[in-house]
Amino acid sequence: MPEIDAERLSAGQFCTPDSAGHCITCADQALEAEVLALDESTGMASVRVEGRTAEVDVSLIDSVEPGDTLLIHGGVALAIHNPKSATQTGVA
């Protein structure tokens, strides 16, 4: 577990980085996340990303279902991601 920086915590700037130093909710990169459960009333989903679970906003995406793979950034799902079809079409 990373050491808590009290100064950042008191400023409201705290996250929990993974072993590579990335936070799954505020990293500078989009991450793949598998949808575990969906709460349509709140627009939130429970997801598995890099071996951890998190809650993300899925209100920008239509037709999200458990089992979908999403690209997330800053705690928000940006797109449904299907690596197999992206590879087949040449789009990544």
Give the side-chain half-sphere CA count within 13 A for 44: 7
> Domains along the chain?
23-89 (2.30.30.140)
Give the per-residue pLDDT at 35.
95
On the 0-12 / 13-18 / 19+ scale of CB atoms within 10 A, 69 is: middle
Give the per-residue pLDDT at 16.
63
Residue 69: pLDDT band (50, 70, 90) is very high
The per-residue pLDDT for range 8-60, each reduced to its tens digit, is 444 444 566 667 666 655 656 788 999 999 999 999 999 998 889 999 999 99
More confident call, 24 vs 87:
24
